[in-house]
């Protein structure tokens, strides 16, 4: 557990320094601390799943008749902390950062604006939770009602068995904590099937295609020639930006805002091409350990993505085979910790592909304002926005994994919370159940998009943008 926590801390710090902009060097210390804490918490929450599984009771195993840790209380504390971070802390710091005015630096004004906007976000969430809890705050738990008739038989062997039953649902009231978790799972699933669905496909494909299309070492003359082309494209984009600036004096129409977002994305892509060209010239193609390591990781990622897709169909929906549950159980039979480690890897993979989806879609959604994650050039408000998405997504991942591995870890505390109550919530439970197919749908659309419209075809010539069309 200590090792896992240290890895989460290292990952949070690495993400901050890898993405943060140089403009925020020496400033925005509060924002940076919140980014690191938010990333640590979003990853740590899902990695508590294998810890809960390892701590679960098992009457068939000696010395595991009772829990060694109060995991019910543990989950309540951790999920409340994640909820407060996602709904209160991160929004406040985000609005506080965006209220900064370099010409009129007034911290009091920043605090007031941050508090007001945060109260708005929290108020909407509180009203939604309160209204839904008061009206439909029940879990519809399925049950079987059996009928039997009195039998005055002294001999037990002559007793007639009556197996007829009626399927029904019992409406059981849930705690406010459980309902808040259900609401957060609902919103988390919206982000999870959107970003996770893209990452499920794009992450392994990007790794493999990156190896196939990796830049080779180039000569100085080739480097100068390619840089001249990039400079010409940069001049064209600059000219377009100046024309847009003249055209947007006063109000900005929706069509013009779309063109501005398109121009912003094309600028990001051109900068990425320049960085790739410089890397090919200075690094001579890169270290073979990194290059072939990415290929191996891509192949392994394909296996993980395919395994998760098959598991959704074979176990979650049609219940034809335990699939991954069986694999984890057999790994435990080889060595006690192998199954738990594989459980942790499969869970972490879902969080990582979701984050990869945030990185990919941040530069693909061009028709509304975006918060792109760009290496060494991401402002703190964009980082905070994506941290809030990761925190919300962690609730959905916890629900999805506990549902997917309920046979491997049936006696965990999180299994009782998610699969007995949250998944049975009136209205929200049904939406959460079917959201896994939205995840598959987005993945399928992403796969079709990548095959039919690869990157080199979508961005063949950046200078063909027209702002007057």
Question: Does some domain include residue 237?
Answer: no
Three state DSSP letters for 89-148: HHHHHHHHHHCCCCCCCCHHHHHHHHHHHHHHHHHHHHHHHHHHHHHHCEEEEEEEEECC
Q: Which of 390, 308, 311 is nearest to 356 (CA)?
A: 390
Which among 155, 281, 290 has a CA at the least distance from the CA of 220?
281
The answer to whether the beta carbons of residues 420 and 175 sit under 8 Å apart is: no
Strand partners, 170: 141
> Is residue 107's pLDDT more than 70?
yes
pLDDT at residue 339 greater than cutoff 60: yes
Is residue 247, in this structure, part of any structural domain at all?
no
Tokens 């999180």 map to which residue?
414
Report the pLDDT averaged over residues 422-437. Answer: 95
Average pLDDT, the chain: 86
280 assigned to some structural domain: no
Instruction: Give residue for tokens 């993400």.
Output: 15
Question: What is residue 172's DSSP assignment?
Answer: E
| Structural domain contains residue 372 | yes
Q: Range of 416's domain?
A: 2-149+163-214+285-464
Q: Is residue 241 part of a domain?
A: no
Is 225 part of any domain? no
Dump pLDDT digits (tens) for 108-155. 888 999 999 999 999 999 999 999 999 999 999 888 887 766 666 656
Instruction: Indicate if the pLDDT at residue 2 is higher than 70.
Output: yes
Residue 468 reports pLDDT greater than 50 = no
- Residues 296-317, mean pLDDT to the nearest whole number: 96
pTM: 0.86
Token pair for 197: 């669905």
In the predicted structure, residue 280 carries a pLDDT above the cut 80: no
CA–CA separation, 71 vs 82, rounded Å? 16
Is residue 179 in a domain?
yes
Total count of domains within the chain: 1
Classify the C-alpha dihedral 343-347-348-353 as positive or negative.
positive
Supply the pLDDT for residue 461: 43
Q: How many CB atoms lie within 10 A of CB 68?
A: 10
The pLDDT assigned to 67 comes to: 59
Q: How far is CA 148 from CA 144, 156, 167, 444, in A?
A: 13, 15, 15, 50
If one compares 74 and 22, the residue with the highest pLDDT of the two is: 74
Is 339 within a domain? Answer: yes
Residue 137, C-beta contacts closer than 8 angstroms, at least 6 positions apart: 173, 174, 176, 179, 426
Query: Among 391, 469, 467, 395, which residue's Cα sits nearest to residue 435?
Result: 395
> pLDDT band at residue 459, thresholds of 50, 70 and 90?
very low
Please determine, for residue 160, whether its predicted confidence score (pLDDT) is greater than 80: no
8 A C-beta contact, residue 46 and residue 348 = yes
Establish how many alpha carbons lie within 13 A of residue 182's alpha carbon, considering only the half-sphere containing its beta carbon.
32
Average pLDDT for 263-281: 81
Cite the DSSP H helix spans in 137-253.
Answer: 176-191, 197-212, 220-247
């Amino acid at each position: 557990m200590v090792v896992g926590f240290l890895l989460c801390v290292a990952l949070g710090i690495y993400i901050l320094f890898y993405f943060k902009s140089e403009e925020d060097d020496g400033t925005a210390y509060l924002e940076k601390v919140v980014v690191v804490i938010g990333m640590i918490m979003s990853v740590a929450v899902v990695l508590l799943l294998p810890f809960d599984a390892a701590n679960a009771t098992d009457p068939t195993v000696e010395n595991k008749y009772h829990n060694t840790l109060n995991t019910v209380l543990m989950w309540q504390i951790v999920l409340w902390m994640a909820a407060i971070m996602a709904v209160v802390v991160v929004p406040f710091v985000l609005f506080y950062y965006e209220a900064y005015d370099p010409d009129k630096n007034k911290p009091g004004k920043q605090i007031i604006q941050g508090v007001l906007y945060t109260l708005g976000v929290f108020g909407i969430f509180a009203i939604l939770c309160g209204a839904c809890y008061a009206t439909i705050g029940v879990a519809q738990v399925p049950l079987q009602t059996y009928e039997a008739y009195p039998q005055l038989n002294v001999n037990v062997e002559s007793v007639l068995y009556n197996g007829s039953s009626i399927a029904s649902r019992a409406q059981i009231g849930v705690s406010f904590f459980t309902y808040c978790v259900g609401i957060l799972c609902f919103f988390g699933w919206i982000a999870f099937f959107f970003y996770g669905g893209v990452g499920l496909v794009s992450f392994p494909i990007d790794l493999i295609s990156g190896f196939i299309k990796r830049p080779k070492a180039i000569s100085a003359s080739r480097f100068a020639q390619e840089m001249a082309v990039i400079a010409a494209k940069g001049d064209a984009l600059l000219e377009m930006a100046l024309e847009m600036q003249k055209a947007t004096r006063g109000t900005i129409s929706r069509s013009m805002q779309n063109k501005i977002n398109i121009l912003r994305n094309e600028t990001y892509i051109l900068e990425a091409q320049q960085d790739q060209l410089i890397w090919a010239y200075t690094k001579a193609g890169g270290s073979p350990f990194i290059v072939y390591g990415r290929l191996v990781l891509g192949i392994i990622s394909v296996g993980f993505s395919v395994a998760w897709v098959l598991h959704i169909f074979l176990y979650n929906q049609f219940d034809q085979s335990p699939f991954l549950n069986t694999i984890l159980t057999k790994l435990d039979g080889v060595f006690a910790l192998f199954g738990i480690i594989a459980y942790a890897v499969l869970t972490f993979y879902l969080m990582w592909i979701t984050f990869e989806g945030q990185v990919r879609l941040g530069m693909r959604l061009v028709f509304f304002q975006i918060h792109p994650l760009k290496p060494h050039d991401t402002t703190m408000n964009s980082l905070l926005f994506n941290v809030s998405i990761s925190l919300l997504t962690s609730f959905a991942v916890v629900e999805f994994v506990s549902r997917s591995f309920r046979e491997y870890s049936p006696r965990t505390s999180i299994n009782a919370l998610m699969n007995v109550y949250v998944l049975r919530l009136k209205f929200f439970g049904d939406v959460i159940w079917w959201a896994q197919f939205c995840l598959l749908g987005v993945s399928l659309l992403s796969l079709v998009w990548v095959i039919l419209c690869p990157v080199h075809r979508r961005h063949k010539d950046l200078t063909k943008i027209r702002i007057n069309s």
